[in-house]
Structure 1
Amino acid sequence: MSKENDRSLRFYNEVLGLNHLHYGIWSEDEELTLSNLKNAQQRYEDFLVNRIPEQSRKILDVGCGTSALTQRLLSMGKEVQGLSPDETQKNNFTQNLNVPFHHCRFEDLKTDQTFDCLVMSESAQYIPHEKLFEKSRSRLVPKGHLLICDYFILNNAEGVLAKSGHNLEEFRQQATGHQFELLEEVDITQETARTLDLAMILATKALKGLEIFSEQTRKKHPILTKLVFRILRKKWLKIQREKDLIDSEKFKAQKSYRLLHYQVI
Protein backbone atom coordinates (compact mmCIF):
# COMPACT_ATOMS: atom_id res chain seq x y z
CA MET A 1 0.00 0.00 0.00
CA SER A 2 1.37 3.41 -0.98
CA LYS A 3 2.21 6.42 1.19
CA GLU A 4 -0.78 8.13 -0.44
CA ASN A 5 -3.10 5.42 0.90
CA ASP A 6 -1.39 5.74 4.27
CA ARG A 7 -2.19 9.47 4.35
CA SER A 8 -5.74 8.79 3.20
CA LEU A 9 -6.25 6.38 6.08
CA ARG A 10 -5.13 8.99 8.61
CA PHE A 11 -7.34 11.64 7.00
CA TYR A 12 -10.48 9.47 7.05
CA ASN A 13 -9.86 8.25 10.58
CA GLU A 14 -8.37 11.30 12.35
CA VAL A 15 -9.92 14.23 10.46
CA LEU A 16 -13.32 12.93 9.31
CA GLY A 17 -13.75 10.65 12.33
CA LEU A 18 -14.65 7.62 10.22
CA ASN A 19 -14.17 4.21 11.83
CA HIS A 20 -14.44 2.48 8.47
CA LEU A 21 -12.62 3.10 5.19
CA HIS A 22 -14.98 1.29 2.81
CA TYR A 23 -18.09 2.30 0.88
CA GLY A 24 -21.43 2.44 2.64
CA ILE A 25 -24.78 0.81 1.94
CA TRP A 26 -27.32 3.62 1.53
CA SER A 27 -31.09 3.71 1.39
CA GLU A 28 -32.54 5.45 -1.65
CA ASP A 29 -33.85 8.55 0.16
CA GLU A 30 -31.04 8.94 2.73
CA GLU A 31 -29.50 12.41 2.92
CA LEU A 32 -25.90 12.53 1.73
CA THR A 33 -23.96 13.73 4.79
CA LEU A 34 -20.83 12.58 6.61
CA SER A 35 -23.00 11.61 9.57
CA ASN A 36 -25.12 9.36 7.38
CA LEU A 37 -21.97 7.98 5.73
CA LYS A 38 -21.06 6.54 9.13
CA ASN A 39 -24.51 4.91 9.29
CA ALA A 40 -24.15 3.57 5.75
CA GLN A 41 -20.73 2.13 6.55
CA GLN A 42 -22.16 0.46 9.65
CA ARG A 43 -24.85 -1.18 7.50
CA TYR A 44 -22.08 -2.38 5.18
CA GLU A 45 -20.25 -3.95 8.11
CA ASP A 46 -23.48 -5.59 9.37
CA PHE A 47 -24.15 -6.92 5.86
CA LEU A 48 -20.68 -8.48 5.75
CA VAL A 49 -20.60 -9.86 9.29
CA ASN A 50 -24.01 -11.50 8.91
CA ARG A 51 -22.56 -13.65 6.11
CA ILE A 52 -19.67 -15.06 8.09
CA PRO A 53 -20.67 -18.64 8.94
CA GLU A 54 -21.41 -19.11 12.62
CA GLN A 55 -19.12 -22.15 12.76
CA SER A 56 -16.17 -20.12 11.39
CA ARG A 57 -14.19 -19.39 14.51
CA LYS A 58 -10.66 -18.57 13.32
CA ILE A 59 -10.72 -15.60 10.94
CA LEU A 60 -8.10 -13.57 9.06
CA ASP A 61 -9.11 -9.95 8.35
CA VAL A 62 -7.19 -9.18 5.14
CA GLY A 63 -6.61 -5.43 4.79
CA CYS A 64 -7.87 -4.62 8.27
CA GLY A 65 -8.13 -0.82 7.93
CA THR A 66 -8.91 0.89 11.23
CA SER A 67 -9.41 -2.55 12.89
CA ALA A 68 -13.14 -1.84 13.41
CA LEU A 69 -14.20 -5.12 11.77
CA THR A 70 -11.63 -7.09 13.75
CA GLN A 71 -12.88 -5.55 16.99
CA ARG A 72 -16.47 -6.41 16.05
CA LEU A 73 -15.56 -10.03 15.35
CA LEU A 74 -13.59 -10.31 18.58
CA SER A 75 -16.63 -9.05 20.50
CA MET A 76 -18.57 -11.93 18.92
CA GLY A 77 -16.13 -14.45 20.37
CA LYS A 78 -14.20 -15.06 17.16
CA GLU A 79 -10.46 -15.71 17.09
CA VAL A 80 -9.22 -13.01 14.70
CA GLN A 81 -5.90 -11.99 13.19
CA GLY A 82 -5.19 -8.94 11.04
CA LEU A 83 -3.11 -8.45 7.90
CA SER A 84 -1.98 -5.35 6.04
CA PRO A 85 1.22 -4.06 4.39
CA ASP A 86 0.30 -0.52 5.47
CA GLU A 87 2.38 1.06 8.26
CA THR A 88 -0.45 3.21 9.66
CA GLN A 89 -2.83 0.24 9.73
CA LYS A 90 -0.15 -1.77 11.54
CA ASN A 91 0.35 0.93 14.17
CA ASN A 92 -3.40 1.43 14.62
CA PHE A 93 -4.05 -2.30 14.90
CA THR A 94 -1.26 -3.11 17.35
CA GLN A 95 -2.06 -0.10 19.55
CA ASN A 96 -5.74 -1.00 19.82
CA LEU A 97 -5.62 -4.78 19.93
CA ASN A 98 -3.56 -7.53 21.49
CA VAL A 99 -4.03 -10.12 18.75
CA PRO A 100 -1.68 -11.38 16.01
CA PHE A 101 -0.99 -9.03 13.10
CA HIS A 102 0.77 -9.89 9.83
CA HIS A 103 2.59 -6.86 8.39
CA CYS A 104 2.82 -7.99 4.76
CA ARG A 105 0.92 -8.36 1.52
CA PHE A 106 -1.53 -11.26 1.55
CA GLU A 107 0.31 -13.07 -1.25
CA ASP A 108 3.53 -12.84 0.80
CA LEU A 109 1.99 -14.23 4.00
CA LYS A 110 4.32 -16.74 5.63
CA THR A 111 2.57 -18.85 8.23
CA ASP A 112 1.64 -22.48 8.72
CA GLN A 113 -1.64 -21.47 10.35
CA THR A 114 -4.94 -22.16 8.66
CA PHE A 115 -8.21 -20.28 9.03
CA ASP A 116 -11.89 -21.10 8.90
CA CYS A 117 -12.68 -17.89 7.02
CA LEU A 118 -10.78 -15.17 5.16
CA VAL A 119 -12.51 -11.78 4.98
CA MET A 120 -11.53 -9.27 2.29
CA SER A 121 -13.40 -5.98 2.48
CA GLU A 122 -12.17 -3.85 -0.43
CA SER A 123 -8.77 -5.52 -0.27
CA ALA A 124 -9.15 -8.21 -2.96
CA GLN A 125 -8.65 -5.56 -5.67
CA TYR A 126 -5.02 -5.07 -4.55
CA ILE A 127 -4.11 -8.76 -4.82
CA PRO A 128 -3.40 -10.42 -8.21
CA HIS A 129 -6.38 -12.76 -8.54
CA GLU A 130 -4.39 -15.89 -9.31
CA LYS A 131 -2.21 -15.35 -6.22
CA LEU A 132 -5.32 -14.47 -4.20
CA PHE A 133 -6.93 -17.85 -4.82
CA GLU A 134 -3.67 -19.80 -4.53
CA LYS A 135 -2.84 -18.30 -1.14
CA SER A 136 -6.46 -18.50 0.05
CA ARG A 137 -6.63 -22.18 -0.76
CA SER A 138 -3.39 -22.88 1.10
CA ARG A 139 -4.46 -20.92 4.22
CA LEU A 140 -8.03 -22.19 4.52
CA VAL A 141 -9.10 -25.36 6.29
CA PRO A 142 -10.97 -27.97 4.21
CA LYS A 143 -14.37 -26.50 3.34
CA GLY A 144 -13.11 -23.11 4.56
CA HIS A 145 -14.80 -19.88 3.51
CA LEU A 146 -13.58 -16.89 1.49
CA LEU A 147 -15.73 -13.77 1.87
CA ILE A 148 -15.05 -10.92 -0.56
CA CYS A 149 -16.86 -7.57 -0.72
CA ASP A 150 -15.42 -5.29 -3.39
CA TYR A 151 -16.01 -3.55 -6.69
CA PHE A 152 -15.14 -5.20 -9.99
CA ILE A 153 -14.57 -4.01 -13.55
CA LEU A 154 -17.13 -4.90 -16.20
CA ASN A 155 -16.05 -5.80 -19.74
CA ASN A 156 -17.03 -2.35 -21.07
CA ALA A 157 -14.90 -0.41 -18.56
CA GLU A 158 -12.49 2.11 -20.04
CA GLY A 159 -10.16 4.94 -19.09
CA VAL A 160 -9.47 5.72 -15.45
CA LEU A 161 -12.36 3.50 -14.27
CA ALA A 162 -10.69 0.45 -15.80
CA LYS A 163 -7.54 0.90 -13.74
CA SER A 164 -8.77 -0.33 -10.35
CA GLY A 165 -10.50 -3.57 -9.50
CA HIS A 166 -10.47 -7.04 -11.02
CA ASN A 167 -12.44 -7.95 -14.12
CA LEU A 168 -15.54 -9.67 -12.72
CA GLU A 169 -15.74 -12.35 -15.41
CA GLU A 170 -12.04 -13.22 -15.12
CA PHE A 171 -12.28 -13.29 -11.33
CA ARG A 172 -15.11 -15.81 -11.43
CA GLN A 173 -13.11 -17.99 -13.82
CA GLN A 174 -10.09 -17.91 -11.50
CA ALA A 175 -12.27 -18.95 -8.57
CA THR A 176 -13.66 -21.92 -10.48
CA GLY A 177 -10.21 -22.88 -11.73
CA HIS A 178 -8.84 -22.94 -8.18
CA GLN A 179 -11.68 -25.15 -6.93
CA PHE A 180 -13.77 -22.59 -5.07
CA GLU A 181 -17.54 -23.02 -5.02
CA LEU A 182 -19.66 -19.86 -5.11
CA LEU A 183 -22.19 -20.07 -2.27
CA GLU A 184 -23.66 -16.58 -2.58
CA GLU A 185 -23.32 -13.53 -4.82
CA VAL A 186 -25.06 -10.23 -4.04
CA ASP A 187 -24.97 -7.15 -6.27
CA ILE A 188 -24.91 -4.01 -4.07
CA THR A 189 -23.77 -1.57 -6.77
CA GLN A 190 -26.84 0.63 -6.52
CA GLU A 191 -26.70 0.87 -2.73
CA THR A 192 -22.96 1.59 -2.52
CA ALA A 193 -22.70 4.03 -5.44
CA ARG A 194 -24.34 6.80 -3.41
CA THR A 195 -21.08 6.98 -1.46
CA LEU A 196 -19.62 8.46 -4.66
CA ASP A 197 -22.43 11.01 -4.84
CA LEU A 198 -21.33 12.27 -1.43
CA ALA A 199 -17.70 12.32 -2.56
CA MET A 200 -18.72 14.39 -5.61
CA ILE A 201 -20.54 16.91 -3.39
CA LEU A 202 -17.46 17.29 -1.18
CA ALA A 203 -15.09 17.57 -4.16
CA THR A 204 -17.30 20.18 -5.84
CA LYS A 205 -17.40 22.24 -2.64
CA ALA A 206 -13.62 22.04 -2.34
CA LEU A 207 -13.13 23.26 -5.92
CA LYS A 208 -15.66 26.05 -5.45
CA GLY A 209 -13.96 27.15 -2.25
CA LEU A 210 -10.61 27.34 -4.02
CA GLU A 211 -12.13 29.39 -6.84
CA ILE A 212 -13.76 31.85 -4.40
CA PHE A 213 -10.54 32.21 -2.43
CA SER A 214 -8.62 32.89 -5.63
CA GLU A 215 -11.09 35.54 -6.82
CA GLN A 216 -11.19 37.38 -3.49
CA THR A 217 -7.46 37.50 -2.90
CA ARG A 218 -6.13 37.97 -6.44
CA LYS A 219 -6.49 41.77 -6.42
CA LYS A 220 -5.64 42.38 -2.76
CA HIS A 221 -2.76 39.92 -2.42
CA PRO A 222 -1.48 38.95 -5.89
CA ILE A 223 1.80 37.48 -4.62
CA LEU A 224 0.06 35.43 -1.90
CA THR A 225 -2.50 34.22 -4.44
CA LYS A 226 0.20 33.00 -6.80
CA LEU A 227 1.99 31.22 -3.98
CA VAL A 228 -1.13 29.48 -2.66
CA PHE A 229 -2.30 28.52 -6.14
CA ARG A 230 1.12 27.08 -6.92
CA ILE A 231 0.95 24.96 -3.76
CA LEU A 232 -2.63 23.79 -4.34
CA ARG A 233 -2.49 23.53 -8.12
CA LYS A 234 -1.55 19.84 -8.17
CA LYS A 235 -4.39 18.99 -5.78
CA TRP A 236 -6.83 21.05 -7.83
CA LEU A 237 -5.76 19.40 -11.09
CA LYS A 238 -5.96 15.96 -9.49
CA ILE A 239 -9.53 16.55 -8.31
CA GLN A 240 -10.50 17.78 -11.78
CA ARG A 241 -8.75 14.88 -13.51
CA GLU A 242 -10.21 12.18 -11.28
CA LYS A 243 -13.81 13.36 -11.09
CA ASP A 244 -14.73 10.41 -13.31
CA LEU A 245 -13.72 8.16 -10.40
CA ILE A 246 -16.47 9.63 -8.24
CA ASP A 247 -19.14 9.86 -10.93
CA SER A 248 -21.72 7.36 -9.66
CA GLU A 249 -23.46 6.95 -13.02
CA LYS A 250 -20.21 6.06 -14.78
CA PHE A 251 -19.33 3.78 -11.88
CA LYS A 252 -22.63 1.89 -12.18
CA ALA A 253 -22.22 1.59 -15.95
CA GLN A 254 -18.66 0.25 -15.88
CA LYS A 255 -18.23 -1.41 -12.49
CA SER A 256 -20.14 -3.74 -10.22
CA TYR A 257 -19.91 -3.86 -6.43
CA ARG A 258 -20.39 -7.43 -5.24
CA LEU A 259 -20.35 -9.67 -2.24
CA LEU A 260 -18.87 -13.02 -3.26
CA HIS A 261 -18.98 -15.88 -0.77
CA TYR A 262 -16.81 -18.85 -1.76
CA GLN A 263 -16.06 -22.18 -0.14
CA VAL A 264 -13.14 -24.49 -0.80
CA ILE A 265 -14.34 -27.56 -2.69
Structure 2
Amino acid sequence: MGQKLDTRAIGLDVGLSFMRWLTGAENLHYGLWTGFDVCAQNIGAAQAAYTDKLFGYLPKGPLRILDIGGGAGETAKKLIALGHSVEIVVPSAFLASRCRENAPEAQVHECMFEDYAGQGPFDLCLFSESFQYIPYDTALTRAAELLRPGGEILIADCFRSANYQGVKRSQTVGGGHRLSAVQSHISASALTLLAEEDITEAVAPSIDVEQGLFNVVGHAITRVDGEMQVKKPRARWMLTKFLRMVLKERSRFRLMERLTEQKRTAEVFCHMNRYMILRLHKPEG
Protein backbone atom coordinates (compact mmCIF):
# COMPACT_ATOMS: atom_id res chain seq x y z
CA MET A 1 0.00 0.00 0.00
CA GLY A 2 1.36 3.43 -0.95
CA GLN A 3 2.04 6.12 1.57
CA LYS A 4 -0.68 8.64 2.39
CA LEU A 5 -0.36 11.97 0.63
CA ASP A 6 0.89 14.74 2.91
CA THR A 7 -1.75 17.26 1.82
CA ARG A 8 -0.70 19.75 4.52
CA ALA A 9 2.89 19.89 3.26
CA ILE A 10 1.67 20.12 -0.34
CA GLY A 11 -0.70 22.94 0.60
CA LEU A 12 2.04 24.84 2.43
CA ASP A 13 4.45 24.40 -0.46
CA VAL A 14 1.91 25.63 -3.00
CA GLY A 15 0.77 28.47 -0.75
CA LEU A 16 4.28 29.70 -0.05
CA SER A 17 5.25 29.43 -3.71
CA PHE A 18 2.21 31.47 -4.69
CA MET A 19 2.90 34.15 -2.07
CA ARG A 20 6.56 34.33 -3.11
CA TRP A 21 5.44 34.86 -6.72
CA LEU A 22 2.82 37.42 -5.74
CA THR A 23 4.68 39.40 -3.06
CA GLY A 24 8.34 38.37 -3.19
CA ALA A 25 8.20 36.91 0.34
CA GLU A 26 6.99 33.68 1.94
CA ASN A 27 4.45 35.17 4.34
CA LEU A 28 1.12 33.52 5.08
CA HIS A 29 0.04 35.85 7.89
CA TYR A 30 -2.71 38.47 7.83
CA GLY A 31 -2.16 41.92 6.41
CA LEU A 32 -2.94 45.26 8.04
CA TRP A 33 -5.17 46.97 5.49
CA THR A 34 -5.50 50.48 6.92
CA GLY A 35 -4.90 52.89 4.03
CA PHE A 36 -4.78 50.19 1.33
CA ASP A 37 -7.29 49.22 -1.33
CA VAL A 38 -8.42 45.67 -0.63
CA CYS A 39 -7.05 43.76 -3.62
CA ALA A 40 -4.47 41.09 -4.33
CA GLN A 41 -1.83 43.53 -5.58
CA ASN A 42 -1.67 45.10 -2.09
CA ILE A 43 -1.18 41.86 -0.12
CA GLY A 44 2.56 42.37 0.18
CA ALA A 45 2.21 45.98 1.35
CA ALA A 46 -0.49 45.05 3.86
CA GLN A 47 1.63 42.22 5.25
CA ALA A 48 4.61 44.57 5.56
CA ALA A 49 2.38 47.02 7.46
CA TYR A 50 1.35 44.20 9.79
CA THR A 51 4.99 43.38 10.50
CA ASP A 52 5.76 47.05 11.17
CA LYS A 53 2.84 47.16 13.59
CA LEU A 54 4.07 44.02 15.37
CA PHE A 55 7.64 45.29 15.62
CA GLY A 56 6.34 48.51 17.15
CA TYR A 57 5.61 46.46 20.27
CA LEU A 58 9.16 45.14 20.65
CA PRO A 59 11.03 46.32 23.74
CA LYS A 60 14.32 48.12 23.20
CA GLY A 61 17.05 45.83 21.93
CA PRO A 62 19.10 44.13 20.83
CA LEU A 63 17.10 41.17 22.08
CA ARG A 64 17.45 37.42 22.32
CA ILE A 65 14.13 36.28 20.82
CA LEU A 66 12.39 32.90 20.70
CA ASP A 67 10.11 32.95 17.66
CA ILE A 68 7.51 30.29 18.46
CA GLY A 69 5.83 28.92 15.35
CA GLY A 70 8.08 30.97 13.08
CA GLY A 71 6.38 30.12 9.77
CA ALA A 72 8.81 30.15 6.87
CA GLY A 73 11.35 32.33 8.70
CA GLU A 74 10.44 35.67 7.13
CA THR A 75 9.80 37.38 10.49
CA ALA A 76 13.03 35.98 11.93
CA LYS A 77 14.95 37.28 8.91
CA LYS A 78 13.62 40.79 9.53
CA LEU A 79 14.35 40.59 13.26
CA ILE A 80 17.94 39.49 12.60
CA ALA A 81 18.36 42.37 10.15
CA LEU A 82 17.43 44.70 13.02
CA GLY A 83 20.23 43.27 15.14
CA HIS A 84 18.33 40.74 17.24
CA SER A 85 19.38 37.14 17.94
CA VAL A 86 16.62 34.66 17.03
CA GLU A 87 15.82 31.02 17.66
CA ILE A 88 12.82 29.48 15.92
CA VAL A 89 10.56 26.69 17.12
CA VAL A 90 8.47 25.13 14.34
CA PRO A 91 6.88 21.65 14.25
CA SER A 92 6.74 21.18 10.47
CA ALA A 93 9.73 19.65 8.68
CA PHE A 94 8.81 21.56 5.55
CA LEU A 95 8.58 24.92 7.35
CA ALA A 96 11.79 24.18 9.27
CA SER A 97 13.58 23.78 5.95
CA ARG A 98 12.17 27.10 4.73
CA CYS A 99 13.30 28.79 7.97
CA ARG A 100 16.83 27.52 7.46
CA GLU A 101 16.78 28.86 3.91
CA ASN A 102 15.21 32.25 4.65
CA ALA A 103 16.92 32.93 8.00
CA PRO A 104 20.21 31.00 7.97
CA GLU A 105 21.53 32.93 10.98
CA ALA A 106 18.68 31.69 13.18
CA GLN A 107 18.86 28.46 15.15
CA VAL A 108 15.88 26.30 14.14
CA HIS A 109 14.27 23.75 16.46
CA GLU A 110 12.00 21.34 14.61
CA CYS A 111 9.53 20.39 17.36
CA MET A 112 6.31 21.31 19.11
CA PHE A 113 6.72 24.16 21.57
CA GLU A 114 5.53 21.78 24.30
CA ASP A 115 8.57 19.59 23.50
CA TYR A 116 11.11 22.40 23.15
CA ALA A 117 14.16 21.58 25.29
CA GLY A 118 16.25 24.66 24.54
CA GLN A 119 17.66 26.91 27.20
CA GLY A 120 16.80 30.47 28.09
CA PRO A 121 16.88 33.04 29.23
CA PHE A 122 15.25 34.96 26.38
CA ASP A 123 14.38 38.62 26.38
CA LEU A 124 11.23 37.99 24.33
CA CYS A 125 9.00 35.06 23.44
CA LEU A 126 7.08 35.84 20.25
CA PHE A 127 3.83 34.20 19.18
CA SER A 128 2.89 35.62 15.77
CA GLU A 129 -0.23 33.69 14.70
CA SER A 130 0.98 30.58 16.52
CA PHE A 131 -0.54 31.07 19.98
CA GLN A 132 -3.86 29.54 18.93
CA TYR A 133 -2.26 26.17 18.17
CA ILE A 134 -0.92 25.64 21.70
CA PRO A 135 -2.96 25.23 24.91
CA TYR A 136 -2.84 28.76 26.28
CA ASP A 137 -1.93 27.80 29.82
CA THR A 138 0.97 25.70 28.53
CA ALA A 139 2.10 28.42 26.13
CA LEU A 140 2.14 31.16 28.77
CA THR A 141 3.66 29.06 31.54
CA ARG A 142 6.44 27.63 29.37
CA ALA A 143 7.21 30.99 27.77
CA ALA A 144 7.47 32.64 31.19
CA GLU A 145 9.89 29.92 32.31
CA LEU A 146 12.14 30.66 29.34
CA LEU A 147 12.21 34.43 29.92
CA ARG A 148 14.73 36.33 31.97
CA PRO A 149 13.27 38.33 34.88
CA GLY A 150 11.73 41.41 33.28
CA GLY A 151 11.39 39.67 29.91
CA GLU A 152 8.29 39.91 27.76
CA ILE A 153 5.82 37.80 25.79
CA LEU A 154 4.38 39.28 22.60
CA ILE A 155 1.26 37.68 21.11
CA ALA A 156 -0.41 38.66 17.85
CA ASP A 157 -3.19 36.27 16.96
CA CYS A 158 -6.84 35.55 16.38
CA PHE A 159 -9.12 34.73 19.31
CA ARG A 160 -12.73 33.59 19.43
CA SER A 161 -15.21 36.21 20.57
CA ALA A 162 -18.31 35.64 22.66
CA ASN A 163 -20.30 35.38 19.41
CA TYR A 164 -18.60 32.13 18.43
CA GLN A 165 -21.05 29.43 19.41
CA GLY A 166 -23.20 27.02 17.46
CA VAL A 167 -21.52 27.85 14.16
CA LYS A 168 -21.46 25.30 11.36
CA ARG A 169 -17.95 24.13 10.49
CA SER A 170 -18.36 25.15 6.86
CA GLN A 171 -19.08 28.71 7.96
CA THR A 172 -16.21 29.10 10.41
CA VAL A 173 -13.47 31.59 9.72
CA GLY A 174 -10.59 32.61 11.94
CA GLY A 175 -9.80 30.53 15.00
CA GLY A 176 -8.02 30.51 18.30
CA HIS A 177 -8.76 30.31 21.99
CA ARG A 178 -11.68 32.13 23.55
CA LEU A 179 -10.45 35.63 24.31
CA SER A 180 -12.30 35.82 27.61
CA ALA A 181 -10.61 32.63 28.86
CA VAL A 182 -7.13 33.87 27.94
CA GLN A 183 -7.74 37.26 29.52
CA SER A 184 -8.93 35.59 32.73
CA HIS A 185 -5.88 33.35 32.79
CA ILE A 186 -3.52 36.29 32.36
CA SER A 187 -5.28 38.24 35.12
CA ALA A 188 -4.80 35.33 37.51
CA SER A 189 -1.14 34.80 36.57
CA ALA A 190 2.01 36.59 37.68
CA LEU A 191 2.32 38.20 34.25
CA THR A 192 1.55 41.89 33.81
CA LEU A 193 -0.41 43.05 30.78
CA LEU A 194 1.57 46.02 29.43
CA ALA A 195 -0.46 46.60 26.27
CA GLU A 196 -3.55 45.25 24.54
CA GLU A 197 -4.76 46.32 21.09
CA ASP A 198 -7.67 45.06 19.01
CA ILE A 199 -6.83 45.25 15.28
CA THR A 200 -9.64 42.99 14.05
CA GLU A 201 -11.20 45.39 11.56
CA ALA A 202 -7.79 46.30 10.13
CA VAL A 203 -6.78 42.68 9.38
CA ALA A 204 -10.22 41.31 8.43
CA PRO A 205 -10.02 42.32 4.73
CA SER A 206 -7.36 39.59 4.37
CA ILE A 207 -10.27 37.14 4.50
CA ASP A 208 -12.02 38.77 1.54
CA VAL A 209 -8.82 38.84 -0.53
CA GLU A 210 -8.10 35.19 0.26
CA GLN A 211 -11.66 34.17 -0.61
CA GLY A 212 -11.45 36.10 -3.86
CA LEU A 213 -8.31 34.21 -4.86
CA PHE A 214 -10.00 30.90 -4.04
CA ASN A 215 -13.01 31.89 -6.15
CA VAL A 216 -10.76 32.64 -9.13
CA VAL A 217 -9.31 29.12 -8.87
CA GLY A 218 -12.82 27.72 -8.39
CA HIS A 219 -14.08 29.49 -11.50
CA ALA A 220 -11.22 28.03 -13.55
CA ILE A 221 -11.90 24.52 -12.25
CA THR A 222 -15.62 24.84 -12.96
CA ARG A 223 -14.99 26.02 -16.51
CA VAL A 224 -12.51 23.21 -17.23
CA ASP A 225 -14.85 20.64 -15.67
CA GLY A 226 -17.72 21.83 -17.85
CA GLU A 227 -15.63 21.53 -20.99
CA MET A 228 -14.35 18.07 -20.05
CA GLN A 229 -17.85 16.84 -19.26
CA VAL A 230 -18.88 17.59 -22.83
CA LYS A 231 -15.69 16.94 -24.80
CA LYS A 232 -13.57 14.57 -22.65
CA PRO A 233 -16.05 12.53 -20.57
CA ARG A 234 -13.75 9.53 -20.13
CA ALA A 235 -10.80 11.66 -18.99
CA ARG A 236 -13.14 13.48 -16.60
CA TRP A 237 -14.38 10.16 -15.21
CA MET A 238 -10.81 9.01 -14.56
CA LEU A 239 -9.89 12.31 -12.90
CA THR A 240 -13.00 12.15 -10.71
CA LYS A 241 -12.16 8.59 -9.70
CA PHE A 242 -8.62 9.65 -8.75
CA LEU A 243 -9.91 12.51 -6.61
CA ARG A 244 -12.25 10.15 -4.82
CA MET A 245 -9.29 7.92 -4.04
CA VAL A 246 -7.15 10.66 -2.51
CA LEU A 247 -9.82 12.86 -0.89
CA LYS A 248 -12.73 11.82 1.29
CA GLU A 249 -16.20 12.99 0.28
CA ARG A 250 -16.35 15.51 3.14
CA SER A 251 -12.97 16.93 2.17
CA ARG A 252 -14.05 17.26 -1.47
CA PHE A 253 -17.25 19.00 -0.42
CA ARG A 254 -15.43 21.47 1.82
CA LEU A 255 -12.83 22.18 -0.84
CA MET A 256 -15.45 22.95 -3.50
CA GLU A 257 -17.42 25.02 -1.02
CA ARG A 258 -14.29 27.03 -0.32
CA LEU A 259 -13.54 27.42 -4.03
CA THR A 260 -17.02 28.29 -5.29
CA GLU A 261 -18.94 29.98 -2.43
CA GLN A 262 -18.44 33.09 -0.31
CA LYS A 263 -19.33 32.12 3.22
CA ARG A 264 -15.96 33.21 4.62
CA THR A 265 -16.02 37.01 4.68
CA ALA A 266 -14.46 39.86 6.63
CA GLU A 267 -17.86 40.57 8.18
CA VAL A 268 -18.23 37.01 9.47
CA PHE A 269 -14.64 37.08 10.70
CA CYS A 270 -15.25 40.25 12.74
CA HIS A 271 -18.40 38.77 14.23
CA MET A 272 -16.79 35.56 15.44
CA ASN A 273 -13.25 36.68 16.23
CA ARG A 274 -11.05 39.32 17.80
CA TYR A 275 -7.54 39.76 16.44
CA MET A 276 -5.43 40.97 19.36
CA ILE A 277 -1.91 42.13 20.09
CA LEU A 278 -0.97 41.38 23.70
CA ARG A 279 2.28 42.46 25.37
CA LEU A 280 3.02 40.72 28.67
CA HIS A 281 5.77 41.34 31.25
CA LYS A 282 7.44 38.84 33.57
CA PRO A 283 8.13 40.19 37.08
CA GLU A 284 11.70 41.18 37.88
CA GLY A 285 11.87 39.22 41.12
- Tell me, yes or no, whether TM beats 0.5: yes
**1:133 is matched with which residue: 125, 136, 140?**
140
Cα-to-partner distance string for 1:49-88 (whole Å, 9 max, x where unaligned): 1210114611111111121111111111111111111101
Q: Is there any run of 5+ residues in structure 1 with no aligned partner, and where?
A: none
Instruction: Report whether the alignment pairs 1:8 with 2:15.
Output: no
Instruction: Report whether the alignment pairs 1:259 with 2:259.
Output: no
2:272 counterpart letter in structure 1: Q
Q: Which residue of 2 aligns with 1:239?
A: 255
Equivalent residues in 2 for 1:1-265, closer than 5 Å = 3-17=6-20, 18-27=25-34, 30-33=37-40, 35-55=41-61, 57-96=63-102, 97-157=104-164, 158-160=167-169, 161=172, 164-232=175-243, 234=247, 237-242=253-258, 246-265=264-283
Cα-to-partner distance string for 1:125-161 (whole Å, 9 max, x where unaligned): 0010110111011001112110000000012213333
C-alpha distance in 2 between matches for 1:184 and 1:135 = 20
C-alpha distance in 1 between matches for 2:193 and 2:62 = 17
Q: Which residue of 1 aligns with 2:3?
A: none
3-state SS in 2 of match to 1:15: helix
Q: Quick check: 38-47 or 153-162, which moved more? A: 153-162
Cα-to-partner distance string for 1:193-239 (whole Å, 9 max, x where unaligned): 11110111112222222221122221211111222344457565223
C-alpha distance in 2 between matches for 1:259 and 1:106 = 20
1:259 counterpart letter in structure 2: I
Q: Quick check: 54-63 or 232-241, which moved more? A: 232-241
- What is the TM-score of this pair, normalised by structure 2? 0.84
Contact 2:194/2:279 (<8 A) preserved: yes
1:14 counterpart letter in structure 2: S
- What is the TM-score of this pair, normalised by structure 1? 0.90
Cα-to-partner distance string for 1:18-62 (whole Å, 9 max, x where unaligned): 4212011113651411x3111111111111112101146111111
Cα-to-partner distance string for 1:138-186 (whole Å, 9 max, x where unaligned): 0011121100000000122133338931000001112222211111111
Contact 1:121/1:149 (<8 A) preserved: yes
Instruction: After TM superposition, give the deviation of residue 111 of structure 1 in Å.
Output: 2.5
1:68 counterpart letter in structure 2: E
Contact 1:122/1:149 (<8 A) preserved: yes
C-alpha distance in 1 between matches for 2:67 and 2:234 = 50
Contact 1:199/1:246 (<8 A) preserved: no
Give aligned-pair identity as a percent: 25
C-alpha distance in 2 between matches for 1:102 and 1:189 = 31
Contact 2:211/2:262 (<8 A) preserved: no
Q: Could you say if the C-alpha distance between residues 142 and 72 of structure 1 is closer, same or farther in structure 2, counting changes exceeding 3 Å?
A: same
Contact 1:134/1:178 (<8 A) preserved: no
3-state SS in 1 of match to 2:280: strand
Question: Would you say how many aligned residue pairs link Structure 1 and Structure 2?
Answer: 263
Q: Quick check: 210-219 or 179-188, which moved more? A: 210-219
Contact 2:39/2:209 (<8 A) preserved: yes
Task: Give the aligned CA root-mean-square deviation in angstroms.
Answer: 2.3
3-state SS in 1 of match to 2:78: helix
Instruction: After TM superposition, give the deviation of residue 249 of structure 1 in Å.
Output: 1.4
Instruction: After TM superposition, give the deviation of residue 99 of structure 1 in Å.
Output: 3.0
C-alpha distance in 2 between matches for 1:141 and 1:134 = 13
